[in-house]
């Protein structure tokens, strides 16, 4: 959920008024960045453009098709290319994509 407010203090005040019985909500408030699913949206402080990059949640255990599995090479290649494509979608700049590809290469 996004809260539109004039400043961070006003946003926190709005957030604290929201109550849902039986549900514990964890909030994060920042005027420069936001996490949304597997995407980190942020404002570049130099260009003032909204950028995005892949984000891996803390509880993510990185379950991927293991390279040492007995799957055919074509399946492994296709899986890796699919991951590369997904990272390209989640990256707004080449250097952010390059960082994500480096992490993917280390994973495999």
Give the model confidence (pLDDT) of 44-69 as tens digits: 989 989 999 998 877 777 777 777 88
Q: How far is CA 37 from CA 50, 95, 99, 103, in A?
A: 17, 21, 19, 19
Residue 23 reports pLDDT greater than 80: yes
Confidence grade of residue 1 (pLDDT, cut at 50, 70, 90): low
Instruction: Sketch the domain layout of the chain as residue ranges.
Output: 32-107
Q: Cite the beta strand spans of 11-93 per DSSP E.
A: 33-36, 39-43, 50-54
Q: What is the per-residue pLDDT for 91?
A: 94
- Collapsing DSSP to helix, strand or coil, 57 comes out as coil
Q: What is the per-residue pLDDT for 13?
A: 87
Q: Which of 63, 14, 9, 46 is nearest to 1 (CA)?
A: 14
Q: For the whole model, what pTM was predicted?
A: 0.66
């Amino acid at each position: 959920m996004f809260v539109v407010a004039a400043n961070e203090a006003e946003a926190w005040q709005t957030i604290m008024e929201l109550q849902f019985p039986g549900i514990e909500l964890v909030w994060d408030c920042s005027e420069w960045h936001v996490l949304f699913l597997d995407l980190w949206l942020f404002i570049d402080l130099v260009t003032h453009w909204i950028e995005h990059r892949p984000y891996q949640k803390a509880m993510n255990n990185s379950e991927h098709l293991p390279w040492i599995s007995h799957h055919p090479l074509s399946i492994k290649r296709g899986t890796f290319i699919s991951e590369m494509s997904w990272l390209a979608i989640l990256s707004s700049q080449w250097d952010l994509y390059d960082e994500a590809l480096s992490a993917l290469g280390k994973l495999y």
